């Protein structure tokens, strides 16, 4: 597998990449985290969480740190955390499946700008590194050709073919460069931690 580097990732420039739109389906699949009362401009909103069980939700670690929810567990290498949160039992827990490069995916989250549920669609492009204060180099993430806006961090990535949960949104990048040639391979991509990187950790966290 060729290793490449994500540059200008997350919120280093601008607040969104690609196309996304209001989605009632997003409101059904994910929840919004807040630090106060959300407004029409999104003030007080921080990010998104994914219901896991009646008592826990999955989100990005950088969202969990500043949310009102108590954290049950932090992933040791990836920008992920499980938080205590009361959820409707419904269809929980969601079905997970590891995706593949070239697969179509659907992304769901909340917009920091509007405080509304939003969604986007795209294709898994490449595995890449994202090294920052939340993600270590060994936690390889997936770059996808889907739109992302601030606030969608911690949101859900679903495999379009069978509607299984493929991963957790952790940010976006203005470009993806090859670390050998320096050539830009992709522009304006979503970045998410794939299920393969947290499958064992999540099972351990949720084991009574």
CATH code of the domain in which 67 resides: 2.40.10.120
CA 37 to each of CA 42, 71, 111, 115: distance values in angstroms, whole numbers, following the listed order: 9, 21, 15, 11
Given a cut of 50, the residues of the chain with pLDDT beneath it are: 1-13, 37, 42
- Show the CA angle centred on residue 168, arms to residues 164 and 171, nearest 5°: 140
- Domain limits for position 180: 4-206
Q: Which residues contact 151 (CB under 8 A, 6 or more apart)?
A: 32, 42, 45, 46, 47, 48, 109, 110, 111, 112, 113, 115
For residue 8, the model assigns a pLDDT of 37
Using alpha carbons, select from 55, 53, 59, 51 the residue that is nearest to residue 27: 51
**Cβ-contact 106, 192 below 8 angstroms:** no
184-194 and 164-178 strand pairing: antiparallel
Q: pLDDT tens digit string along 22-38? A: 999 999 999 999 765 45
For residue 7, the model assigns a pLDDT of 44
| CA 35/CA 30 separation, integer angstroms | 17
DSSP letters for 90-136: TTPSPPB----TT-EEEEEEE-TTT--EEEEEEEEEEEEB--SSS--
What is the phi/psi pair of residue 25, to 5°?
-65, -35
DSSP 196: G
| CA 147/CA 5 separation, integer angstroms | 19
> How many domains, the chain?
1
Name the CA dihedral angle for 52, 53, 55, 59, rounded to a multiple of 10 degrees: 0
Using alpha carbons, select from 3, 2, 7 the residue that is nearest to residue 189: 7
Using alpha carbons, select from 122, 128, 116, 113 the residue that is nearest to residue 158: 122
């Amino acid at each position: 597998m060729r290793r490449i580097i994500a540059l200008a990732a997350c919120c280093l420039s601008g607040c969104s990449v690609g196309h996304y739109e209001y989605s009632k389906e997003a409101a059904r699949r994910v929840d919004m985290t807040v630090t106060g009362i959300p407004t029409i401009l999104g003030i007080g909103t921080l990010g998104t969480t994914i219901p896991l069980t009646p008592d826990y939700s999955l989100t990005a670690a950088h969202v969990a740190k500043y949310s009102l929810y108590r954290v049950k567990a932090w992933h040791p290498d990836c920008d992920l955390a499980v938080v205590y949160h009361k959820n409707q039992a419904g269809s929980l827990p969601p079905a997970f499946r590891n995706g593949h490069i070239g697969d179509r995916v659907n992304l769901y989250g909340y917009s920091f700008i509007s405080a509304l549920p939003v969604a986007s669609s795209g294709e898994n492009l490449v595995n890449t590194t994202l090294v920052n204060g939340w993600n270590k180099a060994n936690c390889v993430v997936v770059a996808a050709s889907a739109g992302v806006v601030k606030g969608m961090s911690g949101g859900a990535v679903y495999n379009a073919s069978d509607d299984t949960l493929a991963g957790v949104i952790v940010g976006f990048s203005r470009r993806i460069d090859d670390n050998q040639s320096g050539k830009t391979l992709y522009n304006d991509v979503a970045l998410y931690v794939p299920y393969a990187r947290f499958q064992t950790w999540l099972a351990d966290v949720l084991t009574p």
